[in-house]
């Protein structure tokens, strides 16, 4: 594998915070690249600042007013002599306008992520759906463009009810969404065609009022599904994508935020499924690669799938970024027999223009990985974030355990209130599902995590929730 630092001395600006900033720094070090990190006032005690200073000295850390001020990020990039920007996840990661600016500004930089055209193409759910349908990839049944005509809407609704009846769904339900809406606004469930007409009218007028747009999307509502992902990587040629297997992200909070991710996505070797799970995994992987090839995908990315209880997969969306849970796929992967894969380092390497250097047959997957997201939250009270100070945090080292965290273990830490209260990612490996689960529980039992809030109350975390959910992992 050619190291990008051999051809040109690159310096990567890390436009992110917390554990992902730490992982990017470590990946840069692995590749022999210089980096510059950012922090804002509330993050000044984060471990990512400590590590940036330790690895790169004071000049590798800049204080900014916000992680979302593009002008400021560029000013720091110029001042520090950065040649590339890694957006991490969140913030600017999937903002094609930002990626375009990075590539087209006066002093050009490299965006470590897909090219802006790819982000624009696949960042739009309707575009993605159209591309999928063109390639024969199944998507959640429903409209593939905003519908404004009532008759057309009714025909789509009718066909969706009939389709579900054919599938044997007892109580079919469809969703009517304001196409310009988002974040759960302007969505209603409809159980039959009679109710559909009144809901359609309501959503249309709501949408017109709120967004000055009458378009609606009509989709099948899929119940009790599993949420799977396919991890894709491709170099800048966009022609030779490979996959690093699947993940199952079905353990979520009530707000649909992921809490446990498992690789691979199903385990037919130890569990019984009502469908051919091996085939589902093969199918969604093949579909994802087909789309990546067609779109000229040129970075890491994730294809997100819904799998129905009858084993039917539907493409939900494409995430054109490195994801929080990338490490769990990396943990079970080996390239040319060499384990300890680092997908972030791979993303940087190919992002800077190095060729992939291996093909699908060089990638092997071994064992089961579980990732726990350890979060300060009250799982008995709608998963409300817990605010306070962590007084002790630690765990026994294990060769099957990897921890990623911005929370220091050698001093107290006030959780910043400006961001999600995510504390750590714990990635556990086992030779099979049973061993991974056993080690997972062992880890959770041995974890020290204590804190206190301003009223003197003890810390609340999701550790017990994670323990409880471990038993049923991958069962469907």
Partner 1 sequence: MIDVKELLRELREEPYEKISIRAPHSGKVEFVAKEPGVRVVGPSGTWKEVPGTLLARLERENVKKPLHAPQKGEVMSLGEIANGQFAQAGQELMTIRHYLTREEVISRILRRSLSLFLAPEKGKYYFFPDVDIKIKTKGSQSVHIEDGMELFILSRMKREASIRYSGPSGIIYAVYFDTNDSVERNSPLIGVCPEDQLGQIQEVVSRVQSDWEERD
Interface residues toward partner 1, by CB under 8 A:
40-42, 62-66, 69-72, 74-76, 79, 105, 384-385, 387, 417-421, 454
Give the closest residue to 179 by CA, choosing from 135, 142, 133: 142
**Beta carbon nearer to partner 1, 126 or 387:** 387
Quote the CA–CA distance of 292 and 236 in Å, as a whole number: 12
**Beta carbon nearer to partner 1, 191 or 385:** 385
In angstroms, what is the minimal distance from the CB of 4 to partner 1?
26
| 49 contacts: CB under 8 Å, gap ≥ 6 | 37, 39, 43, 61
Sign of CA dihedral 368, 369, 374, 375: negative
- To the nearest 10 degrees (0 to 180), the angle between helices 125-134 and 116-123 is 90
| 354 contacts: CB under 8 Å, gap ≥ 6 | 1, 2, 3, 4, 235
- Strand order of the β-sheet with 389-394 is 413-414, 389-394, 448-452
**Beta carbon nearer to partner 1, 287 or 383:** 383
Give the closest residue to 377 by CA, choosing from 473, 466, 251, 472: 466
* 3-class secondary-structure state, position 373: strand
In angstroms, what is the minimal distance from the CB of 209 to partner 1?
16
In angstroms, what is the minimal distance from the CB of 65 to partner 1?
4
Catalytic residue chosen out of the listed positions 321, 331, 349, 373: 321
Quote the CA–CA distance of 194 and 405 in Å, as a whole number: 52
In angstroms, what is the minimal distance from the CB of 414 to partner 1?
9
Active site residue 321: yes
- Any idea how long the chain is? 476
In angstroms, what is the minimal distance from the CB of 256 to partner 1?
14
In angstroms, what is the minimal distance from the CB of 457 to partner 1?
12
The residues with which 12 forms a beta bridge, in sequence order, are 35, 84
The residues with which 85 forms a beta bridge, in sequence order, are 13, 111
Place of tokens 């965006």: 111
**Beta carbon nearer to partner 1, 340 or 418:** 418
Angle, CA 364 vertex, CA 359 and CA 370 arms, to 5°: 130
On whether the CB atoms of residues 95 and 73 are closer than 8 A, the answer is no
* 3-class secondary-structure state, position 166: helix
In angstroms, what is the minimal distance from the CB of 448 to partner 1?
23
**Beta carbon nearer to partner 1, 48 or 221:** 48
The residues with which 301 forms a beta bridge, in sequence order, are 232
What's the Rg (C-alpha) of the chain?
A: 23
The residues with which 427 forms a beta bridge, in sequence order, are 371, 402
* 3-class secondary-structure state, position 82: coil
**Beta carbon nearer to partner 1, 74 or 244:** 74
**Beta carbon nearer to partner 1, 362 or 420:** 420
On whether the CB atoms of residues 409 and 393 are closer than 8 A, the answer is yes
Whether the bond into 264 is cis, omega within 30 of 0: yes
On whether the CB atoms of residues 405 and 469 are closer than 8 A, the answer is no
**Beta carbon nearer to partner 1, 92 or 273:** 92
Angle, CA 23 vertex, CA 252 and CA 3 arms, to 5°: 130
| 109 contacts: CB under 8 Å, gap ≥ 6 | 13, 74, 77, 82, 83, 84, 85, 102, 103
In angstroms, what is the minimal distance from the CB of 43 to partner 1?
12
Quote the CA–CA distance of 111 and 74 in Å, as a whole number: 12
**Beta carbon nearer to partner 1, 36 or 140:** 36
In angstroms, what is the minimal distance from the CB of 174 to partner 1?
30
Name the residues annotated as catalytic.
Answer: 321
């Amino acid at each position: 594998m050619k190291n990008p630092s051999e051809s040109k001395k690159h310096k990567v600006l890390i436009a992110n915070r917390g554990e992902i900033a730490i992982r990017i720094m470590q990946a840069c070090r692995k590749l022999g690249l210089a980096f510059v990190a950012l922090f804002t006032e509330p993050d000044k005690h984060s471990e990512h600042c400590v590590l940036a200073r330790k690895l790169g000295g004071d000049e590798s850390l800049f204080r900014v007013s916000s992680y979302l001020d593009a002008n400021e990020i560029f000013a720091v990039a110029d001042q520090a002599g950065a040649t590339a920007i890694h957006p991490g996840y969140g913030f600017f990661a999937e903002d094609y306008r930002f990626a375009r600016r990075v590539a087209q500004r006066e002093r050009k930089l490299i965006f470590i992520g897909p090219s802006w055209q790819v982000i624009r193409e696949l960042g739009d759910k309707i575009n993605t759906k159209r591309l999928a349908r063109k390639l024969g990839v199944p998507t959640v049944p429903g409209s593939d463009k905003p519908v404004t005509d009532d008759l057309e809407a009714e025909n789509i609704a009718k066909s969706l009810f009939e389709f579900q009846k054919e599938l044997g769904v007892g109580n079919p339900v469809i969703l009517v969404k304001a196409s310009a809406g988002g974040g759960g606004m302007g969505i209603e469930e409809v159980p039959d065609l009679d109710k559909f007409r009144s809901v359609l009218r309501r959503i249309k007028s709501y949408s017109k009022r709120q967004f000055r747009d009458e378009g609606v999307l009509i989709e099948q509502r899929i119940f009790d599904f599993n949420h799977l992902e396919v991890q894709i990587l491709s170099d800048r040629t966009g022609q030779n994508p490979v996959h690093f297997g699947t993940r199952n992200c079905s353990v979520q909070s009530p707000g649909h935020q992921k809490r446990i991710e498992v690789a691979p996505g199903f385990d037919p070797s130890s569990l019984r499924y009502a469908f051919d799970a091996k085939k589902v995994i093969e199918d969604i992987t093949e579909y994802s690669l087909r789309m990546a090839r067609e779109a000229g995908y040129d970075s890491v990315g994730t294809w997100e799938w819904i799998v129905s209880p009858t084993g039917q997969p539907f493409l939900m969306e494409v995430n054109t970024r490195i994801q929080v849970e990338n490490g769990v796929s990396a943990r079970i992967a080996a390239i040319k027999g060499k384990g300890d894969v680092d997908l972030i380092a791979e993303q940087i390497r190919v992002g800077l223009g190095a060729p992939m250097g291996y093909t699908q047959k060089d990638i092997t997957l071994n064992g089961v990985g579980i990732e726990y997201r350890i979060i300060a939250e009250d799982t008995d009270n709608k998963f409300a974030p817990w605010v306070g100070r962590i007084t002790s945090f630690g765990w026994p080292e294990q060769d099957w355990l990897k921890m990623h965290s911005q929370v220091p273990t050698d001093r107290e830490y006030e959780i910043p209130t400006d961001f999600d209260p995510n504390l750590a990612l714990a990635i556990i490996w086992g030779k099979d599902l049973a061993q991974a689960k056993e080690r997972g529980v062992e880890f959770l039992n041995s974890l020290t995590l204590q804190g206190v809030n301003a009223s003197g109350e003890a810390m609340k975390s999701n550790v017990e929730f994670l323990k409880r959910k471990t038993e049923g992992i991958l069962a469907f």
